Amino acid sequence: MKLALAADHGAFELKESIKKHLDEKGIVYKDFGCFSKESVDYPKFAYLAASAVAKKEYDFGVICCTTGLGVSMAANKVHGIRAAVCTNEMLAEMTRRHNNANVICMGQNVVTSELADKLVDIFISTEFEGGRHQRRVDLLTDIENGKDI
């Protein structure tokens, strides 16, 4: 299990605390930045981590900003990425079970660091259910490929 992490300045601290949690659990990750609280543009960092996941270099992405919203929009522009903003345990579980999400997005002003750790744990340990959900995820891919559905 390898994770791609990224955040903008608005979630630098949240990313650092998630890294501490992953270190304690022995989970391997790469930090794609940013590396300080200096103001940066969130699409660049979301793109770095999301494209590494899309290339299958990492199993999942964990990408954060102040709200989780901007990074999710940026990540979802990357072909092959299904990024979901998660604010509670149910969302972190359901977006894996039903949407086969490969990136979890969170907001530093939205979730506590304790909740963020919990959401990451749930997200990376929940299996996609497949079946009828595979058909729906395939339709998402069709949309991404410019097909009419």
Contact positions vs ligand RB5 (CB under 6 A): 8, 10, 42, 65-67, 69-70
Distance CA(53)–CA(102), nearest Å, equals 8
Q: Which is nearer to ligand RB5, 68 or 124 (CB)?
A: 68
From the list 78, 66, 59, 71, the residue with the least C-alpha distance to 120 is 59
| Contact assessment for residue 3 and residue 14, using Cβ atoms and an 8 Å cutoff | no
Q: What are phi and psi for residue 61, nearest 5 degrees? A: -110, 145
Residues 128 and 96: beta-carbon distance below 8 Å:
yes
> Shortest Cβ distance from residue 74 to ligand RB5 (Å)?
9
**Residue 4 or 14 with smaller CB distance to ligand RB5:** 14
Q: How far is CA 27 from CA 68, 73, 82, 143, in A?
A: 22, 26, 22, 33
Active site residue 98: yes
In whole angstroms, give the CA distance from residue 97 to residue 28: 23
Q: How far is the CB of 36 from ligand RB5 (least distance, A)?
A: 14
Instruction: State in angstroms the smallest separation of the CB of 9 from ligand RB5.
Output: 7
Return the number of the residue (112 or 134) whose C-beta is nearest ligand RB5.
Answer: 112
Q: Which of 34, 64, 65, 86 is catalytic?
A: 65
- Residue 130: CB minimum distance to ligand RB5, A: 32
List residues with catalytic annotation. Answer: 65, 98
